[in-house]
Amino acid sequence: MQDIRGSNFSIRRIMVLEFSQYLENYLWPNYKPGASQAHMLSIVIMVNEKFRERVQVWQAFRKLDQYFPDFFQQVLHACLEKDELLINLKEQTALLVFLNHCFNSMEEALCRDQVKRLVSLSMWVSLQPSRREYEFKKYPKWKKYWRAIQRKDKPEQMEKLMWERTFLHKLMLKFIDILDTIKEGGICPDDKVHYCERFLELITDLEALLPTRRFFNTVLDDCHLVVRCQLSALIRRPEGHLFSQLLDMLKFYTRFEISDESGDPLTDHDMTQIHYSNITSLQKAAFSKFPDLRNFALANVASVDTRKSLEKHFAPLTQEKLRLIATYLNLVPPPEKEEEFNWCRLDEIFLR
């Protein structure tokens, strides 16, 4: 790893190591649980190189697969490492690329057994409780599955299970923290930009794959990742051009015409019904809870179904009133849960 690090991750140096079958002949046969970060990162970088060269990747792991779960857990823990002295941003970006390759290799039992636990229904433990109950009302059978999962959980395994179930949520919050460190002025480090770009690629692929999208889509929406990206400074900087394009692609997939419940495609009629149902539920909330919005509540749905028309009705509202509405709609946590969900933005710019 020092050799790779010393060459500043030179593609030429990595290609030479790949040509000598560094992964098959040395790295993987000598991997054991508790191996050094350098050993783990070397494996990650060589796997990424194999994917880049489009050669057989998983064959080397199949021959000695007993330690792959330990290796994968080490990768996951490294992905959440915040100390850049231990794992710098360039290395963390390589980890994201590796993780994306694993999610895109679900046809391999080796990968599937590890990644499926990260995107199952149990990941909804990260949702705001009110949002989770709202989703269960929409899909009652999922609540039955949720209770069945809770009954099967063994107390001695809970710490590990909870860590896995909240992994992607914690990874998204880490990304938001890194994104927020990029300001509109001053120097914008290339490593941060590349990390953010690779992260959006990972999230877009999770949204585009049916096996991973089903439950992840709701968690993605609940942590407001797309909105936070839209409000970020990077998107307004020249260095953010590719980031902006990747965000457009992510937005496309988050709104993709497919049912999260069944995986079936949705028709234009279905999408229109969902859109108008969302507007109607907002009008009902306004009518019963917020007298200031009586005109909006009584308006024809077709006249208030665009952002421009909504802004006309919501512009006079105070930040406090906007937050009450957002809380009622399960978009942000109530005041008593604010500390538990302290990652959520509650400022007026975000709420609007």
At 136-169, the pLDDT tens digits run 998 999 999 999 999 999 889 899 999 999 999 9
Q: How far are the Cα atoms of 8, 18, 56, 192 from residue 12, in angstroms, in the given order?
A: 11, 10, 19, 23
% of the chain beyond a pLDDT of 70: 97
**pLDDT band per the 50, 70, 90 thresholds, residue 71:** very high
Name the residue among 201, 196, 284 with its Cα closest to residue 233. 196
pLDDT tens track for 215-240? 999 999 999 999 999 999 999 999 99
pTM of the model: 0.92
Residue-level pLDDT at 296 = 85
**pLDDT band per the 50, 70, 90 thresholds, residue 326:** confident
Q: How far are the Cα atoms of 74, 111, 213 from residue 62, in angstroms, in the given order?
A: 18, 11, 27
Pairwise CA distance, residues 186 & 188, whole Å: 7
Residue-level pLDDT at 318 = 84
Q: Tell me the pLDDT of the chain averaged across its residues.
A: 90
State the DSSP code for 156.
G
Residue-level pLDDT at 5 = 63
Pairwise CA distance, residues 15 & 251, whole Å: 35
